[in-house]
Structure 1
Amino acid sequence: MNLYNIKHPEQQVNFAQAVRQGLGKDQGLFFPATIPQLSNIDELLALSLVERSQKILAALIGDEIPADKLNAMVKNAFTFPAPVVKVADNIYALELFHGPTLAFKDFGGRFMAQALATVRGDGKITILTATSGDTGAAVAHAFYGLENIEVVILYPKGKISPLQEKLFCTLGGNIRTVAINADFDACQSLVKQAFDDEELRQAIGLNSANSINISRLLAQVCYYFEAAAQLNTEQRQNLVVSVPSGNFGNLTAGLIAKTLGLPIKRFIASTNANDTVPRYLQTGEWQPNATVATLSNAMDVSRPNNWPRVEELFKRNGWNLSELGSGALNDAQTETALKAQYAQGYLCEPHGAIAYQVLKDQLQEGETGLFLCTAHPAKFKESVERILGIELPLPDALDKHNKLPLLSDEMDNDFATLRAYLLK
C-alpha cells in the first residue's frame, strides 16, 4: 500500500511506515495513493463481518502484510457485533457500541493495536493521543499490557463525562493519562507539537492513535459495509448516512467505503454547536470559532484534523462538496431529539440524537436513513438520566471501572511541561 502526505505529496510511505509514524512532514496526513473499485459488492455483503472485513482491508492494504497475518489481525480486533436497529419508518441506527469500551472507537483502536504489533520492528514505542471522550478508552484498552508500548492520553479536564474518564484513567500500568487544563483542540495542538519535535520523536518512538493514524481509519471503513449488509437491496440503493462528526475520521471512513463501491447515495455531517464544517459548506469560508462545551462532548472540536482527507476524497473522485449534507444542533435541540427517540422506544445518547435529528430533517421521500450510534447511553449516564427522567443501569464494563480511583496527572496547556513528562 502506497500513501502520500496530503501537505507534501512528494513524501511517500508504505502502510507499515504510515502506521508507525502516524503523521507526515509538517503534520501532514497520510492518504492512500489509490483506492480500488470493488466489483463484487453483493458477494462481500453476503459474508460475515470478519470475513468481509478481511477482504476489504486486504484490497486496501495490498500484499504488504501476508494474508494469514492480516486475517488474524482482523479476527482478533473485530470480536463484537455492529447491529442495525429500526428506530422509525425508513430510519435505522447502526449501533457501534458493543465492543469492550462501549464506543465505535473500539473498531479502530483494536485494529491499530494489532497493526502496530505486526509492523512495529524493534525499540520502544510511545503512543501519544488526545481524546474528546471515547478514543481514550478504546486506545487504552487496546494497548493495555502490550510489551514495550507506552500510552500517554491527553484529555480536557472536566470536559468529558465522568464515566468516560473512569473507563481509561483507572488502568495504570503502561497507560498514563493526563488531564489538560484546556479544551480538546489544545490537547490536539500539544500532540501536533510533539510530532514536530524530531528529537523527542526519536527519543521515545512517538506514534499517535488518533483517527489521524491510517490503520484506525481503514478499520472504520468496514462497519459501513456491515450496515449495508443488514439492509435489503432496495434500501441500499437509496441509503443516506448521517454521521455524528467531531474530528471527521468517521465520515472520512464512510467516504472511503463509498469510493470502494458501497452504494451510499449521500452523507450528512451532523455536528453540535462546534459547527465549523456546516458553516464552511454554507459559506465557503473556513472560520473556526472557539470550542464550546456541549452535551455531545466527543464532538467538541472546532478544528477537525481529518477534514483535509474529506476534501482530498471529494477532489479525487470528482465529487462536489455541495453534495455533502450537514446540520448542527445546540444542546436544547439535542435534548428534544433525545426525548423524541425515547418516545419512539429507542434509548440513545446526545451524539446519536444529533445524527438522528439532522437525518430526520433532511431525509427525502423514498430514501432510507441510517445514523451512527457511536457510544452506549450509559457512558453519558448523568445527562441521559436528567433529560429522560429515567435510571440507567451501568453495564459491567463501566461498573467495574467506576469503582476504581482515577490515576490521572494534571497539567497546564504547556508543551515544555508535556515534553519533560514524556521524557521521564
Structure 2
Amino acid sequence: MKFVSTRGHAPAVGIDDALVAGLAPDGGLYVPESIPAVDLATPRATLADTALVTLAPWFEGSRIESQLHALCGHAFAFDAPLRPLAGPGDYLLELFHGPTAAFKDYAARFLAGALGALRDPAAQATTILVATSGDTGAAVAAAFHRRPGFSVVILYPDGRVSPRQAHGLECWGDNVHAYRVDGSFDDCQRLAKQALSDPTLRARIALGTANSISLGRLLPQAAYYAHAAAHHHTASGHALNLIIPTGNLGNACAAYLARAMGAPVGEIRLACNANDTLPQFFDGVDYAAQPTRATLANAMDVGAPSNFERLRHWHVDDAALRAAFVARSVDDATIRATIRAAPARHDIVPCPHTATALHLLETLRTQGDGRDWAVVATAHPAKFDSIVEPLVGAGVELPSALAACLARPAHGAHLDDSDDALARVLLKTGASA
C-alpha cells in the first residue's frame, strides 16, 4: 500500500518511509491512497488481537510485517474497557489505563516499537520531535525513554498544562528533553512542523515526529474503536455511536478510519472546548484557524487542528465533510457543572476533557436521542486534581503508574518561540544522541 500527502506535491511512499518521515516533504500529512475493507465486526479475544487485524493491511510489504504481532502485543497490553454508565445506552470508553494515564499511550508505544524495529543500528540516532498540549508528550516520553538510538524533544506551552501534566513531561531525563515554550500549543505545533519540513535541518540530523500528524500515531488508534464497537454490536445488535473530545483531531480521524474499514461504528460527534474552530466550520462557517484560548480542558486547546487536512482529503468537498460530523463547543462553566454533577448522574468522576463529551451526551438525551452512545474518556481525572477534586468534594486516587511519574524529579528548560532557538536545540540534541 502507498501513502500520499494531503497537499498532493510529494511522491507516494510505503508505510516504512511514511513512519520514519512523519511529515510529507511538502508539509502535508500522509494518508493512504485507499482505505482497505477489513472484517472488524467480528469481536476478537483481546485488544491486541483486534489491533493486529486492524493494522495488518497497512503493513503489507513492510520490513516489520513479521514483527507486527509482537508490536501489537506490547502496545496494547492494557485494556480499553467499554463501561456502562448509569443511564440506558450510555457508555464510557476508558482509554486511560496506560503508563501515563491517557489515550495516547497505545499509539505512542506502537510507534516507538515500530520505529525501533525499522531503525538501522548503524545509522545516526533519531531525534523525535513532539509538540504537546498536555498528554502526547508524556506518552511519547514513556514510550521512547532509554530506547537505544532515539532522543526525544518535547515542546509544551508554558503555564497551559496542569501541574501534574507538566511534571509528567519533565520527569524522564536521560534521552528525553522537555522545553517550556512561551505561547500556545499551536505555537509549539508550528515550531515542530517548520523543523520537520526544513530540508537543511533534516540534512544535518535524523528527525522524526510522534504527534498525531504521524501515521504511526493515527493508525493504531483505530484499534480500540474497532474493538469496542465489535463487542458492543455482537452483544446488543446496535452500532456504537461515539462522542470524542477533540483538539488536534487525531483521535477522531482514527474513529473515522475504523468505521471506514468496517467497524460497526455509528455516528461520530466531536466535543470541543471554547476553541471552536471546528464547531464553527461544521456549522457552515468557512474554515479559519483561530488564536488559541486557554481552557480547563487544556489538551484540547487547539485553534489550528492539523488533522483537519486529513478529514478534508477523505471527503469530496466541504459539504460532504459537514454532513459526516457534528461538532459542539463546551465552555468552562459547563465543564465545571458537568464534573460536579457526574458522580451522582453517571457514577463517575471525569477529567475536564471527558466532561465535554459527557455534556454532549446529556444534551442528546434531553433531545430524546435513544441510541447507544459511548463517551470517550481520554485521560484519568487524577491528572487534573486541582480542577476536579474541589468540584466533586473528594480526592481522586492516583493510578500507580502516574504516582511513579510524580515521584521522580522534574528536568525541564525554557525555549524561546523561534525557529532558530529550536534548531539550535535539535542540533545539540542530535549531536549528543
**TM-score, L = length of structure 1:** 0.95
CA contact (8 A) 1:235 1:368 kept: no
In structure 2, do the counterparts of structure 1 residues 60 and 315 end up closer, same or farther at CA, with 3 Å as the change threshold? farther
What is aligned with 1:33?
Answer: 33
| Partner SS, residue 347 of structure 1 | coil
| Partner SS, residue 232 of structure 2 | coil
Q: State the alpha-carbon separation in 2 of the partners of residues 145 and 315 from structure 1.
A: 44
CA contact (8 A) 1:348 1:377 kept: yes
| Partner SS, residue 251 of structure 2 | helix
Residues 13-51 of structure 1 show CA distances to partners (whole Å, capped at 9, x for unaligned) of: 11010011000123100001111112x3343x1432112
In structure 2, do the counterparts of structure 1 residues 55 and 93 end up closer, same or farther at CA, with 3 Å as the change threshold? same
In structure 2, do the counterparts of structure 1 residues 148 and 332 end up closer, same or farther at CA, with 3 Å as the change threshold? same
Corresponding letter in the other structure for 1:353: A
Corresponding letter in the other structure for 2:357: A
1:56 to 54, 57, 68: 54
Q: State the alpha-carbon separation in 1 of the partners of residues 37 and 76 from structure 2.
A: 24
What is aligned with 2:419?
Answer: 415
**Deviation (angstroms), 1:235:** 4.5
What is aligned with 1:117?
Answer: 116
What is aligned with 1:355?
Answer: 357
CA contact (8 A) 1:268 1:359 kept: no
The Cα RMSD (Å) is 1.8
CA contact (8 A) 1:236 1:263 kept: no
Residues 259-286 of structure 1 show CA distances to partners (whole Å, capped at 9, x for unaligned) of: 1011222110110000100101112311
1:132-171 aligned at under 5 Å gives the runs 132-171=133-172
What is aligned with 2:315?
Answer: 314
Q: State the alpha-carbon separation in 1 of the partners of residues 165 and 36 from structure 2.
A: 37
**Deviation (angstroms), 1:135:** 0.3
Gaps of 5+ in 2: 429-433
CA contact (8 A) 1:125 1:207 kept: yes
**Deviation (angstroms), 1:360:** 2.8
1:379 to 367, 373, 383: 383
Q: Are 1:285 and 2:286 counterparts?
A: yes
CA contact (8 A) 2:146 2:175 kept: yes
Gaps of 5+ in 1: none
What is aligned with 1:396?
Answer: 400
Q: State the alpha-carbon separation in 1 of the partners of residues 227 and 419 from structure 2.
A: 41
What is aligned with 1:100?
Answer: 99
Corresponding letter in the other structure for 2:78: F
**Deviation (angstroms), 1:352:** 0.5
In structure 2, do the counterparts of structure 1 residues 320 and 6 end up closer, same or farther at CA, with 3 Å as the change threshold? closer
| Partner SS, residue 150 of structure 1 | strand
In structure 2, do the counterparts of structure 1 residues 333 and 17 end up closer, same or farther at CA, with 3 Å as the change threshold? same
CA contact (8 A) 2:249 2:306 kept: yes
1:242-281 aligned at under 5 Å gives the runs 242-281=243-282
CA contact (8 A) 2:128 2:208 kept: yes
Q: State the alpha-carbon separation in 2 of the partners of residues 179 and 236 from structure 1.
A: 48
Q: State the alpha-carbon separation in 2 of the partners of residues 214 and 272 from structure 1.
A: 25
What is aligned with 1:239?
Answer: 240
CA contact (8 A) 2:195 2:423 kept: yes
| Partner SS, residue 226 of structure 1 | helix
Residues 361-384 of structure 1 show CA distances to partners (whole Å, capped at 9, x for unaligned) of: 135534100111000110111100
Range that drifts further, 205-214 or 223-232:
223-232
CA contact (8 A) 1:180 1:410 kept: yes
Percent of counterpart pairs with the same letter?
Answer: 36
Corresponding letter in the other structure for 2:157: P
In structure 2, do the counterparts of structure 1 residues 319 and 238 end up closer, same or farther at CA, with 3 Å as the change threshold? farther
- Count of residues paired in the alignment: 422
